Structure 1
Amino acid sequence: MVKGTLLRLAAATVVAGFLLGPAAAGETKKPAGVVELFTSQGCSSCPPADAIFADLVKKQDIIALAYHVDYWDYLGWQDTLASPDNTERQYNYAKSFGAHAVYTPQAVINGRTHVSGSSRSDIAGALTRFDKAGQGMSVDIKVMRAGDSIVIDAGEGAGDEQGKVILVYYDPAHPVTIDRGENRGRTVIYWNAVTAIQTAGMWHGAAARYEFPASEIAKKGTGGCAVLLQSMSDKGLPGPILGAALIDGTTK
């Protein structure tokens, strides 16, 4: 579905199964890529994309995040997982891509391009294309538990790369029964629904360390937390994701 122009539109995403034990800092492996799905419980085109996303979550080398957006709520069903922050992130991606509209289901790959979230082949193709072009996760991200803190180590970049370390909290899978709107009567299991987005700090291309309370994960997302090292434009718009890792919310 497509909704209006940039001044009238917005969006959302999901996180996948590359779960890291926060204690295993030196063993963190780079994921093959990051897939951000913008979806809505009120969008009749979204259930097939949600099913594809569920398969991505189960892969061990993909970080998959689901951002539920709220701009389809007027169709008769208020998305129970949507938030204005999720919608704002999709708007910002649209501006970054030079798009005049947002839509669902939309899959953003590595922060570099977008494809239909209901096209398994387009998602896989984009991930493969970026990997072959050296546009995957180029910066090491390692996480570890240190007492009551989670410590994130971001590696060194190439050239004049800069960006932000972003924490994306999410909930585990749970079913939602939709009583009204275009998907009335459906029960859909939603995976890795984003609950909060937080900037942990700036990254200026050199190796850097960031620390935050481990208790924040349980407060903001019971499934866990994705760490995204994302470049930003001069206007603060999201750019390519350079590195990523997952922190398992079940780790005590």
Structure 2
Amino acid sequence: MNVKASLAIVTGGASGLGEATVRNIFEKGGKAVIFDQSEEKGKRLESELGEAVLFLKVDVTKEEDIHEAVNKAADFLGEVNTLVNCAGIGIAEKVIGRNGAHNLSLFSRVINVNLIGTFNVIRIAAEKMSGNKVNEQNERGVIINTASVAAFDGQIGQAAYSASKGGIVGMTLPIARELARFGIRVMTIAPGLFHTPMFDTLPQEARDSLGKMVPFPPRLGYPAEYAQLVQSIIENPMLNGETIRLDGAIRMQPK
């Protein structure tokens, strides 16, 4: 599928990796619907990019929200043939910390947003995609999820985050196998250290120090580089059922 033909839903599309993905799809001639909780950022991006982009305030963990939002997206786009899941949250908390055992509700929330939220959008969007007409490559759609190198190299304090991202990696192949009969591909990207909004609170010196941990290039990744990989996955029909590390060869240390 050419990215120009992408009719995409991008969760977490109002900032960071999701915003870069929306911008790239728009710049290449596609259309996108942003699912995000941040109305301010989402409306601003919608206004900037114009009629090819729509913002919808959506909670990915709510079943009714997703049913309604996917139907609205399909009406706006004509059909949905691309889904990029970027919505997610992160916390840092030890299993046994200064204040005692890990807060169970926080662990559950991270799993609920990152893993269950991703699956919630996949299942509804995939059902919608299954009714599409096939393109010249017999495809009906492509689904791209966002995991993290923490799925493989989780650090101390990342039990919840690593578990949620490891779940995304683990479900990629079985969902790809199942949706193959519909001509829907499923891929996952596992980014390393990327300059996303959560890094904006750090001083430049701290960001530079983190970037130097990356073997090459020795810097934080740019969201546009994530979007570039999304485009490559969309356009290459043999990419299916796999997780790609996008990390400059970094392997995270215990802490």
Higher relative contact order, chain-length normalized (CA < 8 Å, sep 6+): 1
Name the TM-score, length of structure 1 as normaliser. Answer: 0.23
TM-score of the aligned structures, taking structure 2 as reference length = 0.23
